[in-house]
Each structure stands twice: as C-alpha cells, then as structure tokens.
Amino acid sequence: MSEPEGAAPRTAGSRPLLLQREFAALWWGQLVSLWGDRLNYLALNGLVQQHTRDYHDPGLSSLMLSLHGTVSVLPVLLFAPFAGPWVDRWNLRRVLIVSDLLRALLVLAIPPLYAATHHAAPVWTLVFLLFTCNVFFLPAKSAMTPELVPREQLLTANTLLAVAGIAGTVAGFAMGGWVVDHWGWPIALTLDAITYGVSVLSLALIRYRGRPRESGTVSVGGYWREIVEGLRVVRGSPAVGLALTALGAVWLGGGFVQVAGIQHIQRAASIPGAERIAGLGGALGLGAALATWWVNTSGRRIPRPLLLGGGMLLAGVWLVCLAVSTRYAVFAIASFLVGASIAPAFVLTETLVQEGTDLHQRGRVFSLRDFAMRLLLLASLALATLLTPLFGTTVTLVVAAVLVSGTGLLALAWGRRSRELNTLPPG
C-alpha cells in the first residue's frame, strides 16, 4: 500500500513513541481526559438513578437512559458531516485545546443547573453542547496522529492511544463508582472538568506545525462537494469499509447495553449502585487491555478481517451469556470477554481509516465515520427503548447479540472481497 499523503516522514531507528514529545503530550492528555470521561458517564448515570428513584419505573428508566445516549449522538448526526471540511482547514492542535476548554466549562455547569431546576431537560441540553465539542475534537485528534508519528509507527501509536483509553476506562470506573456512590455525582463531574483542564495543558506542549491545508472561502456548493468527496473515499476504500463495519458492531451493541444492559444488571442487585456498573466497566477494560497488547504482538500475524469479524462473533456469544444470567460473577466474566473480543475494533479500525485516506480528506472521513457510528447508536437506542418494556431485558440483549454477530459476518465478508485486506502489515 502506498504511503498516504500527510504521513510523518520515515526515520531510521525512530525513538519509542512515548519518548517523542509531541506524541507523548497527546497520549498523556488523552489518558487523563478519558479517565474523566468515565467519571462523566458514571456521574450522569448517577443523576439518572437519582431522578428515577433507583430505576423503579421501567418506562421512565428506559426513557432517561435512552436520552442519555441520544443527546450524545444528536450533535454528531446534526453537525459531523459539516464539521469535517472545517477540521481539514483548521490548525488541529487549536481545535483540540478549544474543545477541551469548552468541555470543562460545560461539565462544571451541570451540577448547579440541576440543583437550581431539579429538571433533566436543562442537563441534557448541556450534555448536548458537551458532545457538540466532541464533533470537532475526535476527528481532529484522529487526523493529527499520522502527522505526529512516522508511518511505520502508526499502528503502535493507535495501539498506545487505545491503551490510554482502556487505562482511563479502568481507572475511571474503578474510582468513579465509589465517588458517585459515596461523594455524589456532582463531585464526579467536578473531577471530570479538572481532567479536561489537565488535557489542555498537555496539548499545549505539542509543537505542532500542520501540513499545508486548503484555505479560502467555503461556498455552499463547494461544501457539499467536499462532503461527497469524503463519501466517495468511504465507499471506494475496502480498508475504510472494513473499519466502519467492525466499528459499527461495537456502537450497535453499545446502544442496547446502555438501555437494556444497565437495567438488567441493576435489577439483579438487592441494592443498585454505580459501583456495580463501575466494576463491570473495569472488567471490560481489563479484557480490552490484554487483547490490545496481543493484537500489537502475536495478533499482527492474523489478517485484519479475521481479527475484526471473529471478535464480533465472539462478542455476540458473551452478550448472550450476560443476558441469560442474574449472577454478578457471570456479568463480570462476560464483560471481560466482551472487552477482549471488541478490542481489535478500537486499534485496527483507526489505523485502517488513516491508511486508507490522505491528509486533505482525513477530517471529513473521520467526521463521516463518527456520523455513521452515532446514527447506528441512535437506532439501537431507539430499538432497545421499544423492546425492553415490551419483552424484558433478556430478550432485548439477545437481539443485540444476534445483530453484533451478524455484523461480524459482514466484516469477514469484506476480507473475502479484497485480498489487500488480508495482507499482513509490516513488523
């Protein structure tokens, strides 16, 4: 495969990535920020638990949990396709810093706003704005990574960023559940805002000089042409198609777990609490951490379609195990195995999209990726919200397992269609 335009230059004997100032600053900032994101997730679930009086009303609980997911999805559906062309024009480091500053201020505003109104609608409005910042932050981060590291280190860089996400997830869940249950969800949100501030300081250390980018006035017609160009890349690249198929399975399953999974786990407990969810999140993160290490070592010898498609097939099996049980030990084992099965999707899909696009298209392609994934999440949230009150959490989670495994079969089909995808990467 030819080297994408905009990749960092090859260097003989490149230093380890965490000893390279620019990548290390990005990595540490992401580690702290993603740790805070888990606090944010648990804090908002704590708010929902308080607002619904410990999930006693299935209809209201499903609605509130669905709203939690929906307001995180809507900004991407509304703005992501249009944000990509702008991200391709702007200084990427500046996009990351401004986004994190705004996220810190929005998170700090949630506790006093709920205390003043005792209504959920104003809170979900702020959460909507919070995830609007993500619409710009996420494609900018993904687009900037290939500009900071040599191409031969790109898979390792994405693995390390995935490890940062996993470590942040484990640490955030390990601490967040206790913080929410013992100190309250407002304190957890305050800690989340602090992590965004730390991320800003870390990102400011990056000595970033972006490659020449498009400039000039954006017309409406030109704007749509740029979006169409991104769609052509998505449709025409087998690497991007495989990446979106595998990642889609994760987001699809995530919507069902958000609505049906949380209720299934909490109702099996005599006393519901954030620590139960936190423990399972930690188990999922541990499984993902071990699998991520394996993917970047022994897993390099396995074709990517097989890693991604096989992982999704297995994830569906473990979801069924979770669905038919009421024992917390089974939940923990299933969560660990699900984390191990979906880990390749977080490491390999980022690399596949970066390898399949050039500098001037990355922002819009990553924005379109985010749009497609959130659209799948919104659909799964809506379907789970409909199915759970009618058929119960067990049936709804089994439906999720069938869909995830079916998407895994599609990923395997991509491998049969393109020999290039079965070519093993160097190293």
Give tens-digit pLDDT for 246-275.
Answer: 888 999 999 999 889 988 998 887 777 778
pLDDT recorded at residue 423? 64
Distance of alpha carbon 50 from alpha carbon 250, whole angstroms:
28
Phi and psi angles of residue 150, each rounded to the nearest 5 degrees, phi first: -65, 150
Q: What distance lies between CA 114 and its chain's CA centroid?
A: 27
Radius of gyration of the CA atoms of the chain, in A: 21
Residue 5: inside a domain: no
Q: How many domains in the chain?
A: 1
For residue 77, what are its two tokens?
Answer: 């559906």
Tell me the C-alpha distance between 235 and 230, whole Å. 9
Q: Which domain holds residue 201?
A: 18-206+217-417
If DSSP codes are grouped into helix, strand and coil, which group holds residue 71?
A: helix
Say if 64 falls within a structural domain.
yes
Spell out the alpha helix ranges (H) of 88-153: 92-117, 120-148
The encoded tokens of residue 376 equal: 């799948």
The pLDDT tens digits of the residues spanning 122-165 come to 999 999 999 999 888 888 888 888 888 887 888 788 888 888 88
Task: List beta partners, residue 8.
Answer: 150
pLDDT of 3 over the 60 cut = no
Q: What percent of the chain has a predicted confidence (pLDDT) above 70?
A: 85
Asked if the structure places residue 11 within a domain, the reply is no
pLDDT of amino acid 289: 86
- 425: in domain: no
d(CA 407, CA 402): 9
Domain-located, residue 423: no
Q: What's phi and psi for 90, nearest 5 deg?
A: -85, 165
- What is the DSSP-derived secondary structure letter of residue 8? B
Angstrom CA distances, 322 to 69, 169, 252, 270, 339, stand at 21, 20, 17, 18, 13
Domain presence at residue 10: no
CA 311 – CA 67 distance, rounded (Å): 29
Residue-level pLDDT at 13: 46
Query: Could you say which DSSP state residue 257 is in?
Result: I
Residue 238 lies in a domain: yes
Q: What mean pLDDT do residues 162-175 have?
A: 82
Amino acid type, 59: G
CA 262 – CA 256 distance, rounded (Å): 9
pTM: 0.67
Show Cβ contacts of residue 76 under 8 Å, excluding neighbours closer than 6 positions: 131, 134, 135, 370, 371, 373, 374
In this prediction, residues 166-172 reach a mean pLDDT of: 81
Q: How high is the pLDDT of residue 6?
A: 47
Q: Mean pLDDT score of the chain, rounded to an integer?
A: 82
- Residue (of 334, 230, 237) closest to 287 by Cα position: 334
Highest mean pLDDT among 200-214, 230-244, 339-353: 339-353
3-state secondary structure 316-372: HHHHHHHHCCCCHHHHHHHHHHHHHHHHHHHHHHHHHHHHCCCHHHHHHHHHHHHHH
| pLDDT at residue 62 is higher than 60 | yes
How does residue 367 score in pLDDT terms, banded at 50, 70 and 90?
Answer: confident
Helices (H), 149-261: 154-182, 185-203, 220-236, 238-256
Q: Determine, yes or no, domain membership for 212.
A: no
CATH number of the domain encompassing residue 90: 1.20.1250.20
- Residue of 195, 145, 181 whose CA lies nearest to 38: 195
